[in-house]
Structure 1
Amino acid sequence: METNGRQKNVENGIVSEEQQSSVENIISTRDKKKEKHEEEEEEEQLSVEKIFENKEVPSWRKQLTLRAFAVSLVMSVMFSFIVMKLNLTTGIIPSLNVSAGLLGFFFVKTWTTLLDKSGLLKQPFTRQENTVIQTCVVASSGIAFSGGFGSYLFAMSERIVKQSEGKSGFPHKNPTLGWMIAFLFVVSFLGLFSVVPLRKIMVIDFKLTYPSGTATAHLINSFHTPEGAKLAKKQVRELGKFFSFSFLWGFFQWFFTAGDDCGFASFPTFGLKAYENMFFFDFSATYVGVGMICPHIINVSVLVGGILSWGLMWPLIKTREGDWYPAGLSHNSLQGLQGYKVFLGIAMILGDGLYNFFKVLSRTVAGLITKIHDRDANMHLPTADRQSPTSKHLSFDDQRRTRLFLKDQIPTWFAAGGYIIIAVISTITLPHIFHQLKWYYIIVIYIFAPVLAFCNAFGCGLTDWSLASTYGKLAIFTIGAWAGASHGGVLAGLAACGVMMNIVSTASDLMQDFKTGYLTLASPRSMFVSQVIGTAIGCAVSPCVFWIFYEAFPDLGMPGTAYPAPFATVYYNMAKLGVEGFSGLPKDCLKLCYGLFCASILMNVIRDATGKKYGRFIPLPMAMAIPFYLGSYFAIDMCVGSLILYIWQRTNKAKADAFAPAVASGLICGDGIWTMPNSILALAGVKPPICMKFLSRGTNR
């Protein structure tokens, strides 16, 4: 009202210039105060730490509770089975952070609620403790992936070597519990110590985003607000519902799998001819759930790769039998069609990996230069001029988080000493496990490993991409070529891959956890201890879980079986390629490899050049390469999951965003956990009672 009246008087020429100026100054001052007040109110509403301001932050020792690690141990076993199943089937492993955070919250919250009602609760459940559980579980289940049970480690076994070479007698190393556990214990902790001194630079000085770590922190923070706790309970209810359905569905399917190609997993959905070319829906709850978690473009890319390979390339190459490759070769011979399937997939994987390696490396270098420049500029700011326009205003959240993050320091001498001690132990131990891996190879790896671990952790902070497998492939080719074929270069390269992959993978995981801890006020010390304990659990649990699969399923690693472990064959042949060159490839396979290698790079270039608007429609070469060896059956499962999510988002986006991750996690967890009793039944010699098989009309006569 005052503003409108003032404008009217000015228009009539009644107010003098001094009066007008005075009125404008008063209104300007009032508007500024109002704007500042609104900004403060908005900041207060957006502030997470204002919500938790009255809650005491427990010391780092109190964040590490016995109940947290008890829950973590149970969940680690469960998640190790899930990751192992995914490892040994297709190798596509989605993020399970949401599931770990949700289930950790549910288990401990239920326990503390019961104790609180009985008056026995001594320590309330905090978001810091929730973060410790999530960190421990993800670190443990991460070993099931970086441990190489579906890739480099299993690639050394006689099953894979014989399958790739066509006969036995070649150097190999069969898995046993003893050396697998020893190997993981001496290589899995180095990455943790290599990046600990850089936590302040990465998280506070450079303010790297670490999207996965940030998203996990926001999730945990929301759980511990009244509204978030209500939503979390609903999400856990949905997760439990679909967990039960998925588990019971897996149990029901088991009754019909008494023989080869029996059961719902062999249902010829699109006809028997399509089934022969690996196009069918296999009723897998796991990959329907994976499809709901993975972005739509990944699911479509996998399907496109399946259509390109099994629908087009393999039928055409098969017509060249007797010309491009000898007729009558065994199904597994790499001199025949199987060689094209494996090596063309490798070409796409290497092309995509090489492009993304240099892409992330260039972004890492550019980002590092920018961050260092900004940091130096901030250090030279005039301290007297507090109103300098270039000075950064720290919000209440940032001030509180930074103060607590810097409170519990991890001494640099501790990190450096830990790295050196473990490196010495590892250098002495590893040649006894792999006699092909000489001590001087290991020393060279450990000299360069901290730099590569930093690059991976920094690049992951910028892009959320961990290139652990790419660094592992780099070690395969360099160490394998250095050792040479006559000195066991294949096994040396695979072992070196494991050493490098574990270091750079755990380094980026730890920095993600530091970011999560920074945003939830969890102490860096509790994060480090939780990561160490989780890694130790993983080093013991993951080999045991793999051993159960290995003993329960004698056909593990064979094509066309329930657990083909496709990447084991891929990694073995990468190592062989690095040592022996291209001499073992079938006719014209090298030309096709060059073509797909270049096509993989070109697709990535087009994808990045066209931006998000059009680039999101370009398939991902790495995802396209996965079905080259396996077929499209799991791609159809994933696309079904993607379609369910798309329809759900179109009908009720808010509900889909809130509950889709929980539903997907339930489908994955239930089917994954069914593998535990399924393996026990197999070990006990219990056979399913029924074989449900589908035959053509002609065969059935």
Structure 2
Amino acid sequence: MNPVSPPSTRGLLHDIPVESDNDEYGSGSADRELIEGDFTFRAVAVGLGVGVILCMTNIYFGLQTGWVSMMSLQSALLGFAIFKLLPHLPSLFPASRPLTPQENVVLQTTAVATGTMPLAAGLVGIIPALEMLTIKEDGREPIKLGYGSLVAWCLAVAFFGVFLAAPLRRQVIVKEKLVFPSGTATAQLISLLHKIPPPSKALKPSSTAYRRLPRTSRSVSPPERTVTEEAAIDRYDAVEKDSEVMKGSGWWALGWSFFASGSLTVLSFLFPIIFAIPIFDVCSAPFGASAAATWMWWFTPSLSYVGQGIIMGLAVTVSMNIGMLVGWAVLSPLSKHLGWAPGPVGSTTEGARGWILWVALAIMIAESIISLLPITISSASTLIRHYRQRSTGPRIFQPSSSPRSSNVTDDDYYDPLDENEDDDPEVEPPERLVPMSWIKVGLVSSSILGVGLVWAVFGKDGIHPWATALGLVLASMLSLIGVRALGETDLNPVSGIGKISQLLFAVLQPGNVVANIIAGGVAEAGAQQAGDLMQDLKTGHLLRASPRSQFYGQMIGSLASVFVSTAGYKFYTSTYQIPGPQFAVPSAGIWLNLARLLNNGHLPLHVIPFMISFGLIFAIISAIKAFKKYLPPYRWIDYLPSGIAFAVGFLNSPSFSIARLIGGYIAYRSAKNSRNGETPLLAIVVASGFVLGEGVLSIVTLTMASAGMKAVSCYGCEIGGGGYCSGGC
């Protein structure tokens, strides 16, 4: 589950007008020089190294809170920093030849493919859910896969999404020109790092859409400038300021934020009370209770979660904290005191945590289904229109002046669209594209491999081969919806896609909880992987990296991550109790509870009215937000909470949400103090350092814990009854 895809593009998308709406590069894309040699050993090698770091980071955060990010910006930053800080590399990394922007694209593409496998393979969701099965609830023992079986499962879902992304690129990037905010922001960051003009943001004095005022005219009184000119100058200044940041101060900020977050992570392992400060006991002491030990209310001063809040922004973190207050300050005590959840508050089976999780599930299902409606309608209408145009119109081939004039094949035609629709032919020559024959063979081969390996791993008691095949078909159908939603909003609705699959397979294989979870995971994996990789293809499209080189990087990264992700997951599960006090694995609870509901119909006492009420509320909110363009421009619509973020506030203990709110407020204040009203790039860089610092140093603490090392001191962990400190206490 990827409950919140953080809008990591904040502060980078400076919307500077360009000379021509049809010229995506601002200077004639057909005549633009193609940069060859982007697929290099050093780019792939460093990309794999960065990807391993991101993979372990995502396993850590995914098991802890369900938060997983593709981290394309961080990949580009880290990759560039490696080449910047190590000028005397071996001959395979010659210092005399700087890293090119196109190599950086391949580097971050490889890293993203490596780093996102924990989510695609369900290592932070469906695999822990299968390990949480019980004979009492599900009629069967937990399924705990060994290393070999887990590698086989990851191989089963590792490549289908990669082959799905390649053919979708031409439709959603070349023809429809969807924004893909994170991919566009990554392209702009890479352009800043390499000191090249921002893609699609060419600043030309001759442009009729944007006229750059001379430096000497900057002191002209405001009435002598138009609003458009003022806005354009502010945006231009923002780009110049970002360029200055990445020349010096940005790297110091990245290094110090990484060091601070990493140091705090190691200290929290040695002194666990640092990450579980019982400050809320002051409020509960008069009532003879410990808010921390009894109700899980403590404060975690985690810089990584502050960084996540900066990346997410204030609106998302406020929604998350409203959900946290409703779930943990209202519904949790209510269910406990009325006897609806008699077990310990932190229990996901008989405690209040498990009780409010059902309410969160209802909210997520309601918002996921409603939010998919507009994009589903749009996708269906687009496909129908293109089908009609293809069936009635001629097949039009590109003229000889096109860069694809050589080696023209049957795949070189494009659909004639109506005169009002902006459509460009493919700008890349055939030798830089992924051949359609590769895609066809790859889709068939990865499907056969997936069906066979899933059958081999889970056998007849798991899921039938035809059901796995149907899950892959469903993934291919829903991936277009997910990719288009991602391209327009930067949110990949994979959680909704997974739940739709679970609903379908509750009918096709009733009573089989295992099949329900696996089928949903297969469908979600393909759609999620296709969406995340499409962001990278957008980055490459803007910077003219070879799509075929990116495809190679995606395949190599996905293959490597099969073994890295499996080893990382096994490392964590052998060292820590999962689920446990430090790694609650909330995503697994969502998967398992929905499967149980659909197959067994068992729900905790009195939770149904709350599920229906909250589901209806957020279905209405989601519908208003989804169709707001048809409504009067009421300002209050923009202040409606996000249902997914609200539900995440239920899933995570309060400490994580509070830390994220601090980050959201920092982002808000930073944006308010900037000239263009956007979060500055420096804040994004600091947030990236915070996230990466804890993620990377968590590998060190994991190694220390696996070696048998314990906390130096557990002082403070027993205050108020204790029970909330982890790390060996």
Task: Tell me the TM-score range normalised by the shorter chain.
Answer: 0.7 to 0.9
Q: Does the alignment pair 1:688 with 2:662?
A: no
Q: Which residue of 1 aligns with 2:180?
A: 210
C-alpha offsets along residues 577-613 of structure 1, whole Å, 9 cap, x if unaligned?
12112xx212322222111111120121333436583
Paired with 1:502 and 1:652, the residues of 2 have a C-alpha distance of 39
Is contact 1:166–1:332 with CA below 8 Å preserved after alignment?
A: no
C-alpha offsets along residues 19-68 of structure 1, whole Å, 9 cap, x if unaligned?
xxxxxxxxxxxxxxxxxxxxx99679x98565999996443xx2111111
Would you say how many aligned residue pairs link Structure 1 and Structure 2? 628
Describe how 1:165-180 pairs up with structure 2 within 5 A.
170-180=140-150
Query: Which structure has the larger Rg over C-alpha atoms?
Result: 1
Paired with 1:365 and 1:168, the residues of 2 have a C-alpha distance of 38
Describe how 1:246-645 pairs up with structure 2 within 5 A.
246-257=261-272, 262-269=273-280, 271=282, 273=284, 274-275=291-292, 276-321=294-339, 324=340, 332=347, 334=349, 337-368=352-383, 402-404=426-428, 408-435=432-459, 436-485=462-511, 489-553=512-576, 555-558=577-580, 561-581=581-601, 584-608=602-626, 609=628, 613-645=635-667
Is contact 1:361–1:459 with CA below 8 Å preserved after alignment?
A: no
How large is the Cα RMSD of the aligned pairs? 3.6
Paired with 1:304 and 1:265, the residues of 2 have a C-alpha distance of 21
Paired with 1:465 and 1:690, the residues of 2 have a C-alpha distance of 42
- Residue number among 64, 74, 81 corresponding to 1:106 in the alignment: 81
Is contact 1:480–1:493 with CA below 8 Å preserved after alignment?
A: yes
- Residue number among 170, 180, 196 corresponding to 1:200 in the alignment: 170
Paired with 1:380 and 1:119, the residues of 2 have a C-alpha distance of 47
Q: Which residue of 1 aligns with 2:100?
A: 126
Paired with 2:194 and 2:388, the residues of 1 have a C-alpha distance of 38
Question: For residues 393 and 319 of structure 1, do their structure 2 counterparts lie closer, same or farther at Cα, with a shift above 3 Å needed?
Answer: closer
Paired with 1:168 and 1:548, the residues of 2 have a C-alpha distance of 27
2:266 is aligned with what amino acid?
F
Paired with 1:697 and 1:269, the residues of 2 have a C-alpha distance of 11
C-alpha offsets along residues 217-249 of structure 1, whole Å, 9 cap, x if unaligned?
222223222677654243232111100111112
Question: For residues 194 and 684 of structure 1, do their structure 2 counterparts lie closer, same or farther at Cα, with a shift above 3 Å needed?
Answer: same
Q: Which residue of 2 aligns with 1:22?
A: none
Is contact 1:352–1:601 with CA below 8 Å preserved after alignment?
A: yes
Question: For residues 619 and 328 of structure 1, do their structure 2 counterparts lie closer, same or farther at Cα, with a shift above 3 Å needed?
Answer: closer
Q: Which residue of 1 aligns with 2:412?
A: none
SS of corresponding position for 1:78: helix
Question: For residues 628 and 277 of structure 1, do their structure 2 counterparts lie closer, same or farther at Cα, with a shift above 3 Å needed?
Answer: same
C-alpha offsets along residues 650-686 of structure 1, whole Å, 9 cap, x if unaligned?
3345795120110000011111111111111111101
1:633 is aligned with what amino acid?
S
Paired with 1:115 and 1:180, the residues of 2 have a C-alpha distance of 36
When structure 1 is superposed on structure 2, of 344-353 and 451-460 the one drifting more is 451-460
SS of corresponding position for 2:372: helix
C-alpha deviation, 1:148, in angstroms: 1.3
Q: Which residue of 2 aligns with 1:90?
A: 65
Paired with 1:209 and 1:329, the residues of 2 have a C-alpha distance of 47
Q: Which residue of 1 aligns with 2:694?
A: 671
Paired with 2:392 and 2:685, the residues of 1 have a C-alpha distance of 45
- Residue number among 220, 224, 229 corresponding to 2:190 in the alignment: 220
**Structure richer in helix, relative to its length:** 1
SS of corresponding position for 1:484: coil
C-alpha deviation, 1:135, in angstroms: 0.8
2:153 is aligned with what amino acid?
F
Is contact 1:306–1:628 with CA below 8 Å preserved after alignment?
A: yes
Q: Does the alignment pair 1:154 with 2:165?
A: no
Where structure 1 has 5 or more consecutive residues not aligned to the other structure, the ranges are: 1-39, 385-389
Percent of residue pairs identical:
25
Question: For residues 405 and 542 of structure 1, do their structure 2 counterparts lie closer, same or farther at Cα, with a shift above 3 Å needed?
Answer: farther
Where structure 2 has 5 or more consecutive residues not aligned to the other structure, the ranges are: 1-16, 197-239, 285-290, 400-417, 723-729
- Residue number among 36, 53, 75 corresponding to 1:78 in the alignment: 53
Paired with 1:662 and 1:119, the residues of 2 have a C-alpha distance of 26
When structure 1 is superposed on structure 2, of 563-572 and 204-213 the one drifting more is 204-213
TM-score, normalised to structure 2, is 0.78
SS of corresponding position for 2:246: helix
C-alpha offsets along residues 502-523 of structure 1, whole Å, 9 cap, x if unaligned?
1111222233222221111111
Q: Does the alignment pair 1:137 with 2:111?
A: yes
Is contact 1:256–1:689 with CA below 8 Å preserved after alignment?
A: yes
SS of corresponding position for 1:153: helix
When structure 1 is superposed on structure 2, of 46-55 and 416-425 the one drifting more is 46-55
Is contact 1:265–1:281 with CA below 8 Å preserved after alignment?
A: yes
Question: For residues 147 and 124 of structure 1, do their structure 2 counterparts lie closer, same or farther at Cα, with a shift above 3 Å needed?
Answer: same
Question: For residues 122 and 393 of structure 1, do their structure 2 counterparts lie closer, same or farther at Cα, with a shift above 3 Å needed?
Answer: farther
Paired with 1:691 and 1:343, the residues of 2 have a C-alpha distance of 34
C-alpha deviation, 1:124, in angstroms: 3.9
Paired with 1:598 and 1:70, the residues of 2 have a C-alpha distance of 49
1:242 is aligned with what amino acid?
S
Paired with 1:363 and 1:693, the residues of 2 have a C-alpha distance of 56
1:245 is aligned with what amino acid?
A
TM-score, normalised to structure 1, is 0.81
Question: For residues 121 and 473 of structure 1, do their structure 2 counterparts lie closer, same or farther at Cα, with a shift above 3 Å needed?
Answer: same
C-alpha deviation, 1:77, in angstroms: 1.5
C-alpha deviation, 1:455, in angstroms: 2.9
Paired with 1:459 and 1:349, the residues of 2 have a C-alpha distance of 17
SS of corresponding position for 2:145: coil
C-alpha deviation, 1:290, in angstroms: 0.4
When structure 1 is superposed on structure 2, of 221-230 and 533-542 the one drifting more is 221-230
Q: Which residue of 2 aligns with 1:6?
A: none
SS of corresponding position for 1:292: helix
C-alpha deviation, 1:360, in angstroms: 2.4
C-alpha offsets along residues 408-466 of structure 1, whole Å, 9 cap, x if unaligned?
23221221111112222222221110121111212323344322223322333233332
Question: For residues 277 and 450 of structure 1, do their structure 2 counterparts lie closer, same or farther at Cα, with a shift above 3 Å needed?
Answer: same
Paired with 1:638 and 1:684, the residues of 2 have a C-alpha distance of 32
Paired with 2:20 and 2:508, the residues of 1 have a C-alpha distance of 58
SS of corresponding position for 1:404: coil
C-alpha deviation, 1:380, in angstroms: 10
Question: For residues 41 and 571 of structure 1, do their structure 2 counterparts lie closer, same or farther at Cα, with a shift above 3 Å needed?
Answer: closer
Question: For residues 218 and 366 of structure 1, do their structure 2 counterparts lie closer, same or farther at Cα, with a shift above 3 Å needed?
Answer: farther
When structure 1 is superposed on structure 2, of 469-478 and 240-249 the one drifting more is 469-478
C-alpha deviation, 1:405, in angstroms: 5.8
SS of corresponding position for 1:171: coil
Paired with 1:653 and 1:564, the residues of 2 have a C-alpha distance of 41
C-alpha deviation, 1:311, in angstroms: 1.2
Paired with 1:41 and 1:339, the residues of 2 have a C-alpha distance of 52
1:622 is aligned with what amino acid?
I
